[in-house]
Amino acid sequence: ATLLAQVIVNEGLRNVAAGANPIAIRRGIDKAVEAVVAQMRGIAKEVSTKQQIASVGTISAGDPVIGGKISDAMDVVGKDGVITVEESQTFGIDIDTVEGMQFDKGYVSPYFATNNETLTAELDNPYILMTDNKIS
């Protein structure tokens, strides 16, 4: 996928340098993406069992042990869970489960902090929006 994206970028830049309209190129790429996604959805197969997940993991990693660990991790977190892979200084493959939510980054801006000493945001009676719709 990365190689394909690199070729698309390089060819797009080459065509723009040769005088092609960049907006037309972008529209063409978008149409191609829609066509490929539609084709893939048509041939995709649902993967639901632990064995099927292990098979996909084994093919992707090229290693049945790693495929099994991926399946074990998916079994723990479920289809909506998050799996993070980290390099270790020890041998073996371990699965550590963290319950709850985890944020990889802090505030976008330090101005979100209401307490500058502890860099925390403490709000009294805040308004909270809950939605299952996409917010953009």
Q: What tens digit of pLDDT does each residue of 41-81 get?
A: 999 999 989 999 999 999 999 999 999 999 999 999 988 88
- Gap between the Cα atoms of 52 and 46, Å rounded: 9
Beta strands in the chain (DSSP E): none
pLDDT at 84 over 80: yes
- Gap between the Cα atoms of 15 and 25, Å rounded: 8
pLDDT at 119 over 90: no
Q: For residue 14, what are its two tokens? A: 């080459």
Indicate the domain borders of the chain. 2-43, 47-121
- Gap between the Cα atoms of 64 and 42, Å rounded: 28
Q: CA 120, 123, 124, 130 torsion: positive or negative?
A: negative
Beta strands in 26-117 (DSSP E): none
Query: How many of the other CB atoms lie within 10 Å of CB of 54?
Result: 21
pTM for this entry:
0.53
Q: Kindly state the average pLDDT of the residues 28-38.
A: 94
